[in-house]
Amino acid sequence: MDIATVIGLFLGFALVIGSILIGGGGLGPFINVPSLMITVGGSFAALLINFPLAKVLGVASVVKKCFTVALPSTAEVIERFMNLSTIVRRDGLLALENEFDSIDDEFLKRGLEMVVGGSSREELTSILEIEVAYIEQRHQNGKKIIDATAAAAPAFGMIGTLIGLVQMLRTLDDPSQIGVGMATALLTTLYGAVIANLVCIPLAGKLEARSQEEVLIRELMIAGMGALVEGHPPRIVQERLVAFLAPAHRPEPETTAAAA
Amino acid sequence: MDIATVIGLFLGFALVIGSILIGGGGLGPFINVPSLMITVGGSFAALLINFPLAKVLGVASVVKKCFTVALPSTAEVIERFMNLSTIVRRDGLLALENEFDSIDDEFLKRGLEMVVGGSSREELTSILEIEVAYIEQRHQNGKKIIDATAAAAPAFGMIGTLIGLVQMLRTLDDPSQIGVGMATALLTTLYGAVIANLVCIPLAGKLEARSQEEVLIRELMIAGMGALVEGHPPRIVQERLVAFLAPAHRPEPETTAAAA
Amino acid sequence: MDIATVIGLFLGFALVIGSILIGGGGLGPFINVPSLMITVGGSFAALLINFPLAKVLGVASVVKKCFTVALPSTAEVIERFMNLSTIVRRDGLLALENEFDSIDDEFLKRGLEMVVGGSSREELTSILEIEVAYIEQRHQNGKKIIDATAAAAPAFGMIGTLIGLVQMLRTLDDPSQIGVGMATALLTTLYGAVIANLVCIPLAGKLEARSQEEVLIRELMIAGMGALVEGHPPRIVQERLVAFLAPAHRPEPETTAAAA
Amino acid sequence: MDIATVIGLFLGFALVIGSILIGGGGLGPFINVPSLMITVGGSFAALLINFPLAKVLGVASVVKKCFTVALPSTAEVIERFMNLSTIVRRDGLLALENEFDSIDDEFLKRGLEMVVGGSSREELTSILEIEVAYIEQRHQNGKKIIDATAAAAPAFGMIGTLIGLVQMLRTLDDPSQIGVGMATALLTTLYGAVIANLVCIPLAGKLEARSQEEVLIRELMIAGMGALVEGHPPRIVQERLVAFLAPAHRPEPETTAAAA
Amino acid sequence: MDIATVIGLFLGFALVIGSILIGGGGLGPFINVPSLMITVGGSFAALLINFPLAKVLGVASVVKKCFTVALPSTAEVIERFMNLSTIVRRDGLLALENEFDSIDDEFLKRGLEMVVGGSSREELTSILEIEVAYIEQRHQNGKKIIDATAAAAPAFGMIGTLIGLVQMLRTLDDPSQIGVGMATALLTTLYGAVIANLVCIPLAGKLEARSQEEVLIRELMIAGMGALVEGHPPRIVQERLVAFLAPAHRPEPETTAAAA
């Protein structure tokens, strides 16, 4: 679980709700189903027009990446490939097949099947790089939909507020209702602002960071599989993979020597 | 029919109208012909100044693409070219002429005529690629006009509201009219916001997605015709065309074997 | 005359004025010389500071292009060059001199003088291409000034409104004047919005379209003159020039055969 | 003196002040030292944080370029180099030393010293081009600071208005002060808008135009010095330099022949 | 200490507070803990969602660069390398080890260890350039977080104001509270504007300037170490390093001769 995303969302909503409760009058006046309907529903309608249906429905699985940590860390990937290279040097490439059961990652499994199947390093790299490009593109599509929502929600919030204002202004003769009418009209603007600034804009940012992270892990795996095909010893495999990391993330020489 | 566009527009307007009806007072106060005139008419006037007349009049045919699905799917295109390649290998290139009646797509028909007429693969590709570039440009022009409308509508909405406010402010001495005057003044802003956010911005997005989709289908057709000219067997034709697709959209090996 | 620009401006102002008249109270309250002074004059002052004096004064001649159609159509250019090539093949390059009187276009005349004077195709092309680049740059400069006006007018409109609001707010004790004062204050914002959205933004768009159109015509002329120098027959001249046009604008084979 | 900048600033402020005087109540209510303090002082504080101290202090000398015309015109530069080339051909390169006293321009003097000192054309060009790049960069830095001010001034104007509004709203019980309080609160917004739209944005534009102009003049000088080193006759020097100018700015053949 | 950053922040806050005190009513009404909570806390929550946890926590160390001057000046770097080259020519590369104790800068120390260790100039350069790229990337990441805060703070300020307005509008029946409620509601907008315009936007600018400055110093060091490896005399080392500086920052010939 990406604890920062969860804490951030929890903290943000806690602050918004807390700030409402401190102001007095309770949460009641801030909950209004029709206001939610026009803001959320209107944004969703705009998304349906804007994007192919399949992409709108698929955005949830992309957003899930902002909350879950399905990927191994770079250290784990490097260690795994050092182990795999030990196996390959001891028992040959075919021995990798025994490892398949312990691998959950689809991308890694497919790659290793190609390694066992005798693909050359060039073949392996070119096919897997295309796959990485498609993974990146799917993330970009997801980000585009979230960005569009971040723009649509405040717009439909404003549309809702305009509708509320027009209705309130036509009944000015009942002064007791002016304040309540205007307060309700402003709710959609508030909803739109919260959806955009507390949910969509930050999630789009996290999605981009996650995408870069996944691409790095995938590149690391491709480099590792290339090294397996060429039959390098664990030490060389480690060296090659470590070169992908920022200096601050590189393991200390002693530690990795022990791990090796 | 692109069901998502239609559902999105229907849902969006239903939500806007529903939210008006829930607020009470009926739709009446929200319908105002002069307000519509200044917002829609003013935007149209700005478009006339902004773009060559022919392009403004031609935008409807481009927008239609957001609602209709005139293009075959990638799977249909691949299957068709596998069939055509079977015919070519069995009866020669000239036998393609018998297929012309069953082809609705103008682009495909023109290309196949060139194939039958003996064009080389290079000639065919270079001429059809130019045509694809012009198709893309026409879509871009359409998108530019919709983008300009998305910017003009809220601007003329604001102009209408300013006119209404000035008129309302000059008759402050009749307090009973203040609310109604201001409500009417706000209508143009509401119209402008709905036109931009529920219609133009999402349609421009869909148009771009559709344009990319059409370009992909056209590229697929060009590759297919190139393969016909070179007389490849159906299996090779399929392989070449499948390479254009994202992995997730590639047919399962078994299925396509059956289709072939 | 570019009828779309004229109709658009006429329609736009008719809608704005019509919408004022329908609202009641006549045009009177919307005409205010000091308000016009601060919005238009302030924008002009900002332009004077922003751009070299010569460019501000020269913008009128660039804007004129949005209203007039001084350029021949592509069909006319192609036909003219087919005729010229007939003359060249019949009577030699020098015979082109007799045609000079019937040519109004300065660019074309200068180029033909170089053709008659014996310039090579390379010389001709390189000199005229530089001239086209300068034409394009002048249009870009014009567009930059119009864009700057589109940004300055609403800003000075807001400055005018702020001045009016401050004055109105200091005389709140005379309630009968509040509405009128505020209405007048809003006029500058209205003027700024109309100048930007009905005049400047659309004109900048049309200017860009016109610039692209002129560049296309000039490129067509350069290609035509190159073909004259090389002494090609009319049919080849036509073929070369037609290649510049989008397929939809290409003449039907039969028609042009007749025209030739 | 760049008369357009001066006229523009004078005209702009005259219009703003005139529009205040026409509105009645005199200039008094529009002059408020604390309001000026927060808008101008706040923007200056933001600049101090944003940019290295030396650059903030150096911006004045860059802005001065918007008001003064220290550079010779292109015609003067061309004529000067034609004269210098006459001297070089008659008396040799060393004779240029006698001209140094009559040259004010530092850039030109440094270059000619290198010419006299025997630098090759390549050396000269590479060293002077680096200097031109640094001149351009200094202008860009100046423009960045003015752009930052154009963004900061309205922001601090808004901060000042918010402070004023909060104070006015807490003393609503004295209705006679509401208008005056709000009027004063709006002053900072007005100051910010005037600073940004009448001063900073146009000056940034003029600075860019001036920068391009200076770079052109410097390039002209570099080309001229290169021609001196190679000992070309005045006519060739002129030809080379004229090639830098837009056709409309090129001298008439006859005139320059006379000048030569 | 970067005195400009400190003075700017001090001046900015002094002006804001001074402007509050001049307006009367004291600072009291402008201090409101819940308002601060929603603006600052909400922005922080959005950052937590937007960025990986480690980067949010690490931003402080990046921001510190805007306040401290940890880097030697270019003149100091040049002088140091001239001294080091004297040592190398006199006592050989190994003699550099005696200098390590007097070097605080980690980057320089690591590089000199490589020099002593016998790295070639190419090795040294390629490894240290990668490190510089990572330094730059860390600064960019820091700037991205500050930019995101500059966008989030006004947004959460608006959310807080909307909440306050809704609460105030629902209690219109107690007129004495309207002003106070609205004043409090506006505080979050004020906080957001101050955080963005007085803190975040200028700090992001300074961070970028500092980043460019550090990269220049690091490049200077890399060039200096390269010159050490190649055993150049102090004069050549100086010449090479001076070439990195803008002409205005280059030391006077005499002075540096003395320093050498």
| Tens-digit pLDDT profile for residues C1-13 | 678 888 999 999 9
For Cα atoms E200, E204, E210, give the angle at the middle one, nearest 5 degrees.
140
pLDDT at B210 over 70: yes
Q: What is the mean pLDDT of chain D?
A: 84
Q: In which band, very low, low, confident or very high, does the pLDDT at A252 lie, cut at 50, 70 and 90?
A: low
Asked if B170 and C179 count as a contact pair (C-beta separation under 8 A), the reply is yes
B84, pLDDT greater than 60: yes
Structure tokens at A183: 């307060």
Helices (H), E103-233: 106-116, 121-169, 175-194, 201-229
Interchain pair B163, C20: CB under 8 A: yes
From the list C67, C148, E148, the residue with the least C-alpha distance to A205 is E148
pLDDT in tens, E94-135: 888 888 888 888 888 888 888 888 888 888 888 888 888 888
Write out pLDDT tens, residues A176-209: 778 888 888 899 999 999 999 999 999 999 888 8
Please tell me the distance in Å from D231's CA to the nearest CA on chain E.
29
How confident is the model at residue E259, as a pLDDT?
A: 39
Q: What is the pLDDT of residues D83-136, one digit of tens each?
A: 888 888 888 888 888 888 888 888 888 888 888 888 888 888 888 888 888 888
Whole-number pLDDT of residue C249: 60
Contact list, D42 vs chain E (CB under 8 Å): 12, 15-16, 197-198
Check residue E124 and give its pLDDT: 86
d(CA D38, CA D192): 10
Number of domains in chain E: 1
Average pLDDT, whole number, for chain E?
84
Distance CA D205, CA D196 (A): 12
Q: Which residue from A minimizes the CA distance to E42?
A: A12
How many C-beta neighbours within 10 Å does residue C151 have?
16
For testing contact with chain C, the best of B35, B130, B162 (most C CBs within 10 A): B162
Distance, in Å, from the CA atom of D207 to the CA atom of D142, rounded to the nearest integer, reads 8
Nearest to D47 by CA among E5, B5, E116: E5
Among residues E163, C106, D174, B111, the alpha carbon closest in space to that of A190 is found at E163
The answer to whether A187 and A163 are in contact (CB under 8 A) is no
**Chain D closest-CA separation from residue C35 CA (Å):** 8
CA atoms of E8 and D144, how far apart (whole Å): 18
Q: How far is CA C30 from CA B166, C42, D20, in A?
A: 8, 19, 19
Question: Which of E41, E52, E151 comes nearest A4 by C-beta?
Answer: E52
Name the closest residue on chain A to residue E182, using Cα atoms: A23
- A38:B29 CB<8 A: no
Measured CA to CA, the distance from residue A138 to residue E212 in angstroms comes to 35
* Residues E142-171: tens digit of each pLDDT: 899 999 999 999 999 999 999 988 888 887
Choose from D47, D49, D140 for mutation: most chain E CBs within 10 A: D49
CB atoms within 10 A of CB C31: 11
Residue C256, pLDDT above cutoff 70: no
Could you tell me the pLDDT band of residue E247, with boundaries at 50, 70 and 90? low
Q: Is the pLDDT of residue B209 over 50?
A: yes
* Span C133-145, pLDDT tens digits: 888 888 888 899 9
A105-151 pLDDT, tens per residue?
A: 888 888 888 888 888 888 888 888 888 888 888 888 889 999 999 99
Contacting residues for D61 by C-beta, under 8 A, at least 6 apart: none
Please give, rounded to a whole number of angstroms, the shortest distance from the CA of A192 to a CA of chain E: 10
Q: Residues A171, A181: contact at Cβ < 8 Å?
A: yes
Q: CA separation (Å) from E98 to D120, E82, E84, E95?
A: 45, 16, 11, 6
- H-run or E-run covering B209: helix B201-229
State chain A's mean pLDDT as an integer: 84
Q: What is the pLDDT of residue B260?
A: 37
Chains in contact with C, where contact requires at least 3 CB pairs less than 8 Å apart: B, D
**Shortest Cα–Cα distance, B194 to chain A (Å):** 7
Contact C237, C81 (CB under 8 A): yes
Tell me the C-alpha distance between C230 and C89, whole Å: 10
Name the residue among C225, C20, C214 with its Cα closest to residue C116. C225
pLDDT of residue B252: 53
List Cα–Cα distances, A85 to A81, A92, A244, B160, in angstroms: 6, 9, 18, 72
Residue B49 and residue C202: Cβ atoms within 8 Å? yes
- Residues 6 or more apart whose CB falls under 8 angstroms from that of A192 comprise A39, A153, A154, A155, A156, A157, A158, A160
Is residue D216 a part of any domain in this protein?
no
State the pTM of this model: 0.87
| Mutation target vs C (from D177, D186, D197; most C CBs, 10 A cutoff) | D197
Instruction: Using DSSP, state whether E180 is helix, strand or coil.
Output: helix
Shortest alpha-carbon distance between residue C151 and chain D (Å):
9
**D99 is a domain residue:** no
Mean pLDDT of B79-102: 85
One-letter amino acid for residue B248 of the chain: A
Distance CA C224, CA C244 (A): 11
Q: Count A/B contacts: CB-CB distance under 8 Å.
A: 130
User: What percent of chain E clears pLDDT 70, i.e. is strictly above it?
Assistant: 94
Which residues in chain D have Cβ-Cβ distances shorter than 8 Å to E16? 38, 42, 159, 163
pLDDT at A104 over 60: yes
User: Are D49 and E4 a contacting pair at CB < 8 A?
Assistant: yes
- Mean pLDDT (chain B) is 84
Q: How far is CA E222 from CA A246, B72, C115, D100, D211, in A?
A: 19, 59, 58, 41, 33
Q: What is the pLDDT of residue C65?
A: 78
* CB nearest C170 (choices: D19, D29, D247): D29
Strongest mean pLDDT among A68-77, A184-193, B223-232, D251-260: A184-193
Q: Which residues of D touch E196 (CB under 8 A)?
A: 155
d(CA E62, CA E149): 14
pLDDT-derived band at E249 (thresholds 50, 70, 90) equals low
Residue E190 has pLDDT above 80, yes or no: yes
3-state helix vs strand vs coil in chain B, percent to 5: 85, 0, 15
Q: Which residues of C touch B (CB under 8 A)?
A: 3-5, 7-9, 11-12, 15-16, 18-20, 22-25, 29-30, 66, 176, 178-180, 182-183, 186-187, 189-190, 193-194, 196-198, 201-203, 205-206, 209, 213, 246-248
pLDDT, tens digit (0-9, with 9 covering 90-100), for C210-225: 888 888 889 889 988 8
Q: Are E186 and D165 in contact (CB < 8 Å)?
A: yes
Quote the domain boundaries for residue A1: 1-31
Whether the complex's predicted ipTM is more than 0.95 is answered with no
For residue B99, what is the DSSP state? G
Tokens found for residue A9: 């969302």
Task: Name chain A contacts of B15, Cβ cutoff 8 Å.
Answer: 37-38, 41-42, 45
The closest of E106, E94, E104, E138 to E228, measured between CA atoms, is: E94
Question: Distance between CA atoms of C31 and C150, rounded to whole angstroms?
Answer: 21
In tens, the pLDDT along C125-184 reads 888 888 888 888 888 888 999 999 999 999 999 999 999 888 888 877 777 778 888 888
> In angstroms, what separates the C-alpha of B34 from chain C's closest C-alpha?
6
Q: pLDDT grade, residue B251 (50/70/90)?
A: low
Q: Say what the pLDDT of residue A259 is.
A: 39
- Other Cβ atoms less than 10 A from the Cβ of D219: the count is 15
d(CA C74, CA C251): 10
**Dihedral (CA of B45, B48, B54, B60) sign:** negative
Q: What digits encode the pLDDT tens for the residues E9-58?
A: 999 999 988 888 887 778 888 888 888 889 999 999 999 999 888 888 88
Matching residue, tokens 């055509």: B84
What's the rounded mean pLDDT across residues C29-54? 89
Give CA–CA dist B145/E259, Å, rounded: 66
Does C2 fall in a domain? yes
Instruction: Report the phi/psi class of residue A118: left, alpha or beta, with left for phi > 0 and alpha for psi in -120 to 50.
Output: left
On whether residue E59 sits in a domain, the answer given is no
Q: Please choose, from the candidates E213, E159, E16, the residue with its C-alpha nearest in 3D space to the C-alpha of residue D39.
A: E16
- pLDDT tens digits, C63-107: 887 788 778 888 888 888 888 888 888 888 888 888 888 888 888
* pLDDT for residue B124: 86
Contacts of B105 (CB under 8 A, 6+ apart): B71, B72
- Within a domain: D143: no
Q: What gap in Å lies between CA E55 and CA A82, rounded to an integer? A: 29
Q: For chain D, how many helices (H) and strands (E)?
A: 11, 0
Per-residue pLDDT for chain D (260 aa), expressed as one digit of tens each?
678 888 999 999 999 888 888 877 788 788 888 888 899 999 999 999 998 888 888 888 888 877 877 788 888 888 888 888 888 888 888 888 888 888 888 888 888 888 888 888 888 888 888 888 888 888 888 899 999 999 999 999 999 999 988 888 887 777 777 888 888 889 999 999 999 999 999 999 988 888 888 888 898 899 888 888 888 888 888 888 887 776 656 655 444 434 43
CA distances from C202 to B55, B62, C11, C206, D78 (A): 14, 21, 13, 6, 41
> Would you say residue C134 lies in a domain?
no
- Both tokens of residue E31? 């201090």
Task: Tell me what pLDDT residue E248 has.
Answer: 59
Q: Which residue has the tokens 């990986």?
A: E52
Which residues of A are less than 8 Å from B195 in CB distance? none
From chain D, pick out residues whose CB is under 8 angstroms from the CB of E201: 46, 50, 151-152
Measured CA to CA, the distance from residue A91 to residue B207 in angstroms comes to 56
Cα separation of A226 and A228, whole Å?
5
Flag if D248 and C171 touch (Cβ within 8 Å): no
Give the DSSP letter of residue D58.
H
C17 in any annotated domain: yes
Q: Does E71 fall in a domain? A: no
